[in-house]
Structure 1
């Protein structure tokens, strides 16, 4: 088991075992092992959430950092880890009513234990320009997750176009790289189009801090690349932002329903190997646990029953979305191209990139331009024995196979009797992929022909 203890009162000293990793929370300081901001902690300037919502954000930060520094390849099955988090909260008795372990376990596929201890120290006491009392992040009506991907871009456009009076706070998380570049470019365009009176942007730079001599106990320097817990950080921070405005302020998490349900393409990809960021079961148990901790803001996915191509077809401003879509990055490996001296951005071969291209083909926007590899031809992927072609092979096998309806449950249970609705989303998403792949050439066409 890997054990982690988050500290917000560093002056109290460490009374734990040397085998326990310290997640020291001191935004903007070199003593912190949870790094918030590259040059300070401006993310928190000018607003303050209720303490119960701030405690949720601390859980998200602790879970994300523990996820990144715990290497899967060191476990017996090279995947499943045992992770223990000791978290400081204002009211441990209140937190005892919530069970966060199944929330994290379902999300990442590991075995988590989350325990809370009462610590009344202010987690933001040492952060400059933070109000002393609860203060709204701005005059906004909702918080919307904004990753810089095509789904989140579509979500912002539709929310603002659908309600001309709506004002949004856009939350982004990044650690630099292509995701940060896409966010900056799109935010500039959105502010230009909709104006600063309708949008507030908060961009969170948070990661396990690199080791330095000022830290009481540095975290390991190696990093895990299957960061499933990132969505917990994203959502708990969004809930803190929303709670600063009011208990009814919603959090929007725009993502197409096909990838939300994320039915494994093959049996080898079943279980936690398929991401569960917006799976309906995860959203349900997350919001239930948050409510037990005193945070009741709703979490809503406006596209939960909509495949990606249909999202684009029904957007409320197709001209704007089509113009900005090339600036978005929907990729799992946005920096992969730099290792072979190709243009970075959307790799073209990962599962999100394949869904992206199929959805854009659905509305006549697809092109191989802007992708480092062209999966629709596949000659540069399938002709070489590399892992880059694994998603393409899985998609071809999964899309052209005869899939039983029960497969829709393979990535987790579907709550509230909505199995038929999500089955329709899954089937529609498969059809979008199948229709796009019918236009395949080269090695991809040969792969498809071999299955028929």
Structure 2
């Protein structure tokens, strides 16, 4: 069991047990072990204020993310499942007792979470000079939309703005620097140039476990876990706080295709660690129920939950703009990987999200210049299938899994489908596999040879 205690009052006593890790929340201060903002006095919280219930949720997301990143899976018996206990200061601990947030986290990250709370009347943003004293909207907006800088979120923003010419959005991003940050900033500039500066505001959150310094009372251990399944909870709770600052019914949009949402394992061996649940309908439903219990009623909506990625692109409300901006988006699991072999950084081309991206682009005829848009070209298999490399693992799984005769019940391998929508998600899954198959039929060289060996072409 790895234990964490969150403090918003750094004048209090440290846990007597030296093995308890301390997550000190003190935005803009070097003593913090939860770093918010790249520099002292980070500006993400400036000018708006959410109700206390929503701020407590934001603190939960930050806690889960920092615990997730500082508890190594390699130190567990099975190399994956951790036992994590967190204690969080909130305004009303009784409300949290039956909220189910621990079960939501268990499903999301594949761990065993225990979420304890203790009463803290003072707000976690008490004393921040640029934060209003009363609840204050983040801006004159109608909805909040997650904006990762990926292709789905880009399409979602374009469609939401095109669908209603009067709709104004708050776009929420999270990053720790690198290619994701670059993509987000570039796309925001392009969208503002097209739609004008009044259609949306952009809030970019930089949050991570703080590097050790001599002002911290109990620094966090330095190794970092790279699976970070709890990142989506941080992303969602931050966006919910922004939405709640506007009003209890201000919606939060999470544009993500349904094929990757249910994320059916390509092979039996890829269940568990390979099968993320970032937007799985069971996770979203559980989170919505939990936040209602905790006093936050903003609806969480995914307009693409029953569409494939290719269908999203084909049905966009502004195909010309999307096609022009799509190359700037980054849908990659590890966009920095190419740096180590002196290739173009951005979309690697060999991870599962990149393969889904290319299949969807091919579906609408946009997969025309892979050499410029990807560090590795999966359709040729060069430097992937022509040698023994871990980089080819996702491509091999797609080749072996996309063409198999799979039973419908496989859609349940990554979690239950709520609300009687099994048939709808079976359709999404089958169509998503068809997009992969159609794209792979254009393979050449080593990739085509592997397909031929398995009797797929």
- TM bucket, shorter chain: over 0.9
1:315 aligns with 316
Residues 376 and 382 in structure 2, CA contact (< 8 A), matched pair in contact too:
no
Residues 334 and 347 in structure 1, CA contact (< 8 A), matched pair in contact too:
yes
1:44 aligns with 45
Per the alignment, do residues 47 and 16 of structure 1 end up closer, same or farther by CA in structure 2, a change over 3 Å counting? Answer: farther
1:254 aligns with 255
Residues 106 and 272 in structure 1, CA contact (< 8 A), matched pair in contact too:
no
Residue 411 of structure 2 is aligned with which of 378, 399, 408?
408
C-alpha separation between the residues in 2 aligned to 1:67 and 1:389?
27
2:440 aligns with 437
Residues 93 and 119 in structure 2, CA contact (< 8 A), matched pair in contact too:
yes
C-alpha separation between the residues in 1 aligned to 2:235 and 2:179?
18
2:31 aligns with 31
1:93-115 Cα offsets, whole Å, 9 max, x none, are: 11113021110010000111101
1:297 aligns with 298
Per the alignment, do residues 16 and 235 of structure 1 end up closer, same or farther by CA in structure 2, a change over 3 Å counting? Answer: farther
Residues 26 and 32 in structure 1, CA contact (< 8 A), matched pair in contact too:
yes
2:224 aligns with 223
- Alpha-carbon deviation of 1:293? 0.4
Residues 400 and 451 in structure 1, CA contact (< 8 A), matched pair in contact too:
no
Residue 421 of structure 1 is aligned with which of 413, 420, 424?
424
C-alpha separation between the residues in 2 aligned to 1:83 and 1:271?
18
Residues 80 and 273 in structure 2, CA contact (< 8 A), matched pair in contact too:
no
Residues 97 and 293 in structure 1, CA contact (< 8 A), matched pair in contact too:
no
- Alpha-carbon deviation of 1:41? 2.2
1:146 aligns with 147
User: Given the two structures, how large is their TM-score scaled by the length of structure 2?
Assistant: 0.98
Residue 395 of structure 1 is aligned with which of 376, 395, 398?
398
C-alpha separation between the residues in 2 aligned to 1:288 and 1:338?
42
- Alpha-carbon deviation of 1:379? 2.3
C-alpha separation between the residues in 2 aligned to 1:286 and 1:68?
21
Residues 338 and 344 in structure 1, CA contact (< 8 A), matched pair in contact too:
yes
Residues 350 and 391 in structure 2, CA contact (< 8 A), matched pair in contact too:
yes
Residues 51 and 244 in structure 2, CA contact (< 8 A), matched pair in contact too:
yes
- Alpha-carbon deviation of 1:18? 1.2
2:79 aligns with 78
Residues 330 and 352 in structure 1, CA contact (< 8 A), matched pair in contact too:
yes
Residues 68 and 208 in structure 1, CA contact (< 8 A), matched pair in contact too:
yes
The equivalences for 1:185-200 within 5 A come to: 185-200=186-201
C-alpha separation between the residues in 2 aligned to 1:379 and 1:206?
37
- After TM superposition, the runs of 4+ consecutive aligned structure 1 residues lying more than 6 A away are none
Q: Confirm or deny that 1:111 pairs with 2:130.
A: no
C-alpha separation between the residues in 2 aligned to 1:220 and 1:385?
34
Per the alignment, do residues 272 and 280 of structure 1 end up closer, same or farther by CA in structure 2, a change over 3 Å counting? Answer: farther
C-alpha separation between the residues in 2 aligned to 1:128 and 1:322?
43
Greater alpha carbon shift after TM alignment, 152-161 vs 40-49: 40-49
- Alpha-carbon deviation of 1:116? 1.0
| Count of equivalent residues | 452
The gaps in structure 2 that reach 5 residues or longer are none
Residue 384 of structure 2 is aligned with which of 381, 384, 389?
381
C-alpha separation between the residues in 1 aligned to 2:204 and 2:16?
33
Greater alpha carbon shift after TM alignment, 92-101 vs 135-144: 92-101
1:196-220 Cα offsets, whole Å, 9 max, x none, are: 2110110000000000000000001
Per the alignment, do residues 16 and 198 of structure 1 end up closer, same or farther by CA in structure 2, a change over 3 Å counting? Answer: farther
Q: Confirm or deny that 1:164 pairs with 2:165.
A: yes
Residues 272 and 411 in structure 1, CA contact (< 8 A), matched pair in contact too:
no
1:354-382 Cα offsets, whole Å, 9 max, x none, are: 00000000000003121000001102101
2:181 aligns with 180
1:270 aligns with 271
- Alpha-carbon deviation of 1:6? 0.5
C-alpha separation between the residues in 2 aligned to 1:440 and 1:114?
48
The equivalences for 1:83-94 within 5 A come to: 83-94=84-95
Residues 90 and 121 in structure 2, CA contact (< 8 A), matched pair in contact too:
yes
Per the alignment, do residues 191 and 260 of structure 1 end up closer, same or farther by CA in structure 2, a change over 3 Å counting? Answer: same
Give the secondary structure class of the aligned counterpart of 1:233. Answer: helix
1:255-281 Cα offsets, whole Å, 9 max, x none, are: 011000100001111135300000000
- Alpha-carbon deviation of 1:160? 0.2
Q: CA RMSD in A?
A: 0.8
Give the secondary structure class of the aligned counterpart of 1:206. Answer: strand
Residues 104 and 112 in structure 1, CA contact (< 8 A), matched pair in contact too:
yes
Residues 108 and 228 in structure 1, CA contact (< 8 A), matched pair in contact too:
yes
1:301-324 Cα offsets, whole Å, 9 max, x none, are: 000000000100000000000000
Residues 37 and 205 in structure 1, CA contact (< 8 A), matched pair in contact too:
yes
1:129 aligns with 130
Give the secondary structure class of the aligned counterpart of 1:3. Answer: strand
1:2 aligns with 2
